[in-house]
Chains A and B, each alone.
Chain A
């Protein structure tokens, strides 16, 4: 009995970590800037590639993952300056622009770095509970997902940058009039979103195939989580990940991977039918 309860909790935690890490960057860029970033998967790929290259160059795993996140963040800031900034109030155009960036990044990586990259192997070995054995690294991923949510909460609610960023989102003209350099805030926010995508890529790099198209493996889960969650990262993404991870773990446990996907998409249909502004819109309904 206990081993099977642990087994379900592990599966739930594993799905939760994947959803949170996959979606965090997308949620920040969408929630804070209103930009739907279709190049999200390619920031993830960028983070994974840089992480693996750094690990192969001899850096310890945590430093390598930090390099991956940093590289994706810098690429994000540069792209924001060059492209996104010019399209800020044209959400449909940003979709097309980021899609174009995504195509260029995938194909460019394929041409420059080839069709695959050798992996680095998952660290930390395994442990057993009852008849099942688990990867230690995946427990670590769950812990990181929770810490990430706490860290983001502190960043956006307890720091000066967080206050300025939220001010810029709420009333851009007023923030600007009060002397906030909104252009810089936007660049930084996009950079943080991209860095979080890079972090997801770096964290999952040891566990996955490294190919230029690897970002697409995260895309469905990331978008589903953001759609269910709505615009707010903490009141949206976190509860959405809890609900979806529960649905996914339960469905896969009962009927397999196919039904896990079906369950995920059904949950989205039901949530956006009942709560068109996502979970965070519903939680914050009285406040506007």
Chain B
């Protein structure tokens, strides 16, 4: 029985392989003429929509601007947009469809790390080029993936020491219970330990939980100096309102809230008072580049509730891809990767200059420490410019030397050569 199954598996693999070859032949023909097709799979409905509709708009704005300036290599950008509805299975279906049927040159996809990990094997199966523009827990070392969002060495290595120095060494973490929250919490734990602090509590909360009375009580019992809230999705965001109503009053730090879900705009003050977020962009950044960007965005999308970090990242991602294709002279994946590996793919983004690191294919960022006041006004007490995504490279991921296709963590680093 087993041998029979293996036999069929092998045959299936052969057929799939042959189809893959035929497919890549077909794309090669399509690749050098007509528009450059960019796939966009971002949630426009479902649990994450509030934070991710901006990613579609960001891609549309960048494409419109690039097209108005003559396109990439004289070719227009054509966006192929689907709505995966915050549903990982829908992501997989649509990723297959967009790579197989729509023959896109590159795909931009995914908000949650769960959706990224759901589609990454499909991207690798079709050997496609995939831009993941969201901030995340870091560690994806994959030749086919360019991860342009901020990672823990940019968000936590800045935030956690600052919080401990400012408010005290006792830290409590509540985090969404999936790969993002688990790995981010591991980073926080590590940094607290390195800084001589103490973890006084940690709770992982399933996505979709919206009632937090007991969690609030547990936090009060542990009485931490700093509360790290790594909450994801609109249901979990209810924590802030409920914590404020119970007068929790502990300084909070996060890598995701405010900059993604603009909770400071959605909730009535003072629900988010005392929140600190390290973000590579929020709408309130008042540099000239950011002000111009906000003006262009609102000219195209006058009803936008808030221009958030995912929106900016999506916009910048399209420009980074355009720069890489310009340098490569083609959309062919290996040539684009070779361009990225020169280390010279940069863009003067609304946040400041962003460059792609050739070793890990992640991006450098300007990090703003965003502080939310009693009346939900935003102040930015500190800015770190040009922080490199150094961790993967130091840990041993060098995509210029060898292809990987894995996600690593501090406790599970790349294997030694």
Contacts and interface: CB of A to CB of B under 8 A. Distances in A.
Task: Verify that A and B bind, or say they do not.
Answer: yes
Interface of A: 7, 10-11, 14-15, 18, 106-107, 110, 114-122, 125-126, 128, 131-135, 137-138, 206-214, 216-217, 249, 252-253, 256-258, 260-261
A193 to B, nearest CB: 22
B241 interface: yes
A122 B244 CA distance: 8
A36 to B, nearest CB: 21
Interface string B37-60: 000000001110110010000000
Nearest to B244: A122
B27 interface: no
Contacts, number: 133
A134 B266 contact: no
B241 A121 contact: yes
Contacts of A18: 211
A126 B245 contact: yes
Contacts of A138: 213, 245-246
B267 A257 contact: no
B227 to A, nearest CB: 15
B33 interface: no
20 contacts: A106-B45, A114-B305, A118-B266, A119-B241, A120-B268, A122-B242, A131-B220, A131-B221, A132-B220, A133-B246, A208-B241, A209-B210, A209-B237, A209-B266, A211-B49, A214-B234, A216-B208, A253-B214, A257-B214, A261-B209
Contacts of A213: 46-47, 49, 234
A124 to B, nearest CB: 8
B271 interface: yes
Contact of B246 (A15, A126, A206, A214): A126
B217 interface: yes
A110 B45 contact: yes
A259 B265 CA distance: 32
A125 B247 contact: yes
A261 B206 contact: yes
Nearest to B268: A121
Contacts of A252: 214-215
A7 B177 CA distance: 25
Contacts of A256: 203-205, 215, 218
Nearest to A253: B214
Given A11-B213, A213-B47, A116 B241 contact: no
Contact of B50 (A7, A115, A131): A115
A249 B305 CA distance: 37
B52 to A, nearest CB: 9
Given A11-B214, A115-B305, A209-B234, A121 B269 contact: yes
A241 to B, nearest CB: 14
A260 B217 CA distance: 15
